[in-house]
Amino acid sequence: MEYEISLATSMAISVLFALSLNLITGFCGQISLGHAAFLGIGAYTSGMLAKAGVPFLLTLPLAMLLAGVIGIVVGLASLRVRADFLAITTMGVGFLFVGVVRQQNALGAEMGVSAIPDSGMSKLAFMLFAVALAVAAALLSAYVRRCWMGRVFAAIAEDEDTVRVMGIDVPRFKLTAFALGTALAGLAGGLYAQHLKFIAPDSFGFIESITVLSMVVVGGIGSVIGVAVSAAVLSVLPSWFQVIGDYKLLVYGGLLFLMMRFSPGGMAALVTRIFHPDRWGTK
């Protein structure tokens, strides 16, 4: 039973993390290849504060705040770049985070941070807490997608220049997307640190950024339910099938290729095509 609880907790954290990237990439069309850095910022903030004696529940909003503020800074630096250049910029942020942490002895450097104090919750209670936060993030994402802000995000993703001509403050909405997405990633990082009780720089590198991007693409860019299901399934596949764990990147890369080739809209579009073929011009 303890193993199943741990697995469910990992699934909930992965769902929360994937939804945070979906707000930036899926809703607003801003490609981020360094999103794991914000997971790391949240994890290190929560972990270090917990070791300093700060109650766990108080470390989470602080982790969100710091990740969100740094996300805005990154967003400001990225306002003048798009598409491939934005991807390269955010990838650089990911490498910068890992490089800085590795050089800071106060953050454990290469050895990382261990023996993070317990949250005071039972493992079952912590799992339910993580699931509740993941559900809340999904509901928030669904609300944002349907409100006027989500419509502006979608318009920016579709044709940013046209949105500018209409007089809409595009930079403000881009920064809003970055702030929301990175703050949620910081929240996921705080849960991650408490769940594992150990964090290290390599846990937040480029590979982790590609992994979460795979979850978003496979689930369906912009789809809340699709991304949540994709993140939950892909996060546990290596645990269920050892061979997948040994070739995790190969499997994720293959899934990315297949989805982009045969169903660019991810699982969400694939399901729609199966159950509503008339929308695709076929019966």
Give the integer Cα–Cα distance in Å for 256 and 277: 23
Widest CA span of the chain, in angstroms?
Answer: 62
Q: Are 34 and 91 in contact (CB under 8 A)?
A: yes
Give the integer Cα–Cα distance in Å for 118 and 59: 12
- Token pair for 283: 């019966």
Q: What is the pLDDT of residue 283?
A: 36
CA distances to 71, 74, 101 from 32, in Å: 11, 11, 20
Q: What is the pLDDT of residue 119?
A: 83
- Per the DSSP assignment, residues forming a β-bridge with 113 are 199
Give the integer Cα–Cα distance in Å for 91 and 132: 30
Ordered per-residue pLDDT tens for the chain, 283 residues: 788 899 999 999 999 999 999 999 989 888 888 999 999 999 999 999 999 999 999 999 999 999 999 999 988 877 777 667 788 888 899 999 999 999 888 888 888 898 899 888 999 999 999 999 999 999 999 999 999 999 999 998 888 888 888 888 888 999 999 999 999 999 999 999 999 999 999 889 888 998 899 899 888 888 899 899 989 988 887 666 555 656 667 777 777 777 777 666 676 666 665 555 554 444 3
Q: What is the pTM of this model?
A: 0.89
SS (H, E, C) the chain: CHHHHHHHHHHHHHHHHHHHHHHHHHHCCCCCCCCHHHHHHHHHHHHHHHHCCCCHHHHHHHHHHHHHHHHHHHHHHHCCCCHHHHHHHHHHHHHHHHHHHHHCHHHCHHHCECCCCCCCCCHHHHHHHHHHHHHHHHHHHHHHHHCHHHHHHHHHHHCHHHHHHCCCCHHHHHHHHHHHHHHHHHHHHHHHHHHHCCECHHHHCHHHHHHHHHHHHHHCCCCHHHHHHHHHHHHHHHHHCHHHHHCHHHHHHHHHHHHHHHCCCHHHHHHHHHHCHHHHCCC
Q: How many residues appear in the chain? A: 283
CA 101 and chain centroid, separation: 20
Q: Are 177 and 27 in contact (CB under 8 A)?
A: yes
